[in-house]
Amino acid sequence: MAKRQERRIGNTNAYTVHNKVSIIRGGAAFFEAIEEIAANAKYSIHLQTYIFDENDTGNRVADALISAAKRNVYVYVLLDGFASQKLSAAFITRLRDGGVQFGYFRPMVLSNVFYLGRRLHHKIIVGDGQVCMVAGINISDRYNDMANAPAWLDWAIRVEGDVARQLNDLCIRVWNLSARRKKCLATAPPELQVPETECLVRVRRNDWVYTHTQITRSYRELFNAAHKHVTLMTSYFWPPFKLLKRMAAASRRGVKIRLILTGRADVPFAKYAERYLYPWLFRHNIEVYEYDRNVLHGKVATRDNEWLTAGSYNVNNISAFASVELNLDINDAALATELTEKLQTIINDDCTQVTSDSFTSSNNMLKRFGYYLSYRFVHLAFYVFTFYFTQKRDRD
């Protein structure tokens, strides 16, 4: 029954027109935008995210949500049951006593150090079905600009208009399927105020277990449609084989492809696995840049100053085949150019280019063998954690 219900969660293939869109480069600006959405909400707030930590940033967001609930705004918070399991009972009680409806999205098997099953990896906040943000940013100090450390590099897309209404409906459905304690009562937000500006935006979902592979298809389309250049920023880069084939084909057509990857990984083992692919990238004339200023956590891509995608989807098999992910595709020259220019500035100011020569000179045979072992272990671990999946077709 749950499977049949999950298949009905939103048809998100079409672009909508009536949207006002802005790009936010994470850090303090993102959390100020969350507080603004919470402060302005009159009817409902939906927050669904992977990590919600009980620290200064988490408490700020909690205070904003509780303040809205005390104004009789319906507030629904749904968190991943594995990544957010360290929240204390006192913190959750504070949210519930403050009027916030709280729930967990739970894997099949869960312990303190291990989970087996889908994880809720998307990051969404929606206010009144009117304004929303889709991001790769979790709720924690390391994603915020703190006094002693800048935020990890990440991105969010803020939208007013049609897409916010779509995501409001999606959040309700996900909540109703996941939080068994109470069904969502906030089913009829106020009438949508259509923004004067127009921007083509579509919601894209990945939940491979239930045949949703829209973001994976968006990335394939990105390389299939590219004529001049593609700039892709991602953390934890282990692409599915079909995507690597499309990258290679685009490069052979003369498309300039630039990858911005992290140089300071929060998971060193994952970085070793990623570096195993570097020689393949060099052979296919794909430029590699490592971000050195801090940890890179962003997940965005642009094509030909015409199109961009941003959200929670990492370009790897976990996002493609294991997690519940959400991105926004935006077909708008001004916004695509804006993001491309921001990425160019990051390349110029905060990155080191890795070339075939520099990689060979700084990585001896023993190191490269370690990268190989890491890559193979990552694939083995991925298989072990996802062997139970029943969905067999990667729909193209």
Catalytic residues: 121, 123, 128, 297, 299, 304
Instruction: Please return the burial class of 188, using the count of CB atoms within 10 Å of its CB with bins 0-12, 13-18 and 19+.
Output: exposed
Going from the C-alpha of 84 to that of each of 59, 71, 173, 347, the distances in angstroms are: 14, 27, 21, 33
Measured distance CA(89)–CA(189) in Å, rounded: 31
Token reading at 335: 């916004």
Calculate ∠ Cα 257-258-261, nearest 5°. Answer: 140
Strand-pair category, 351-354 with 156-161: unpaired
Measured distance CA(193)–CA(162) in Å, rounded: 9
Closest CA to 144 of 294, 28, 266: 28
Reduce the DSSP state of residue 303 to 3 states and report it: strand
Instruction: Let me know: does 34 contact 61? Beta carbons within 8 Å.
Output: yes
CB atoms under 10 Å from CB of 293, counted, come to: 14
262 backbone dihedrals φ, ψ, rounded to 5° = -80, 145
Measured distance CA(51)–CA(352) in Å, rounded: 29
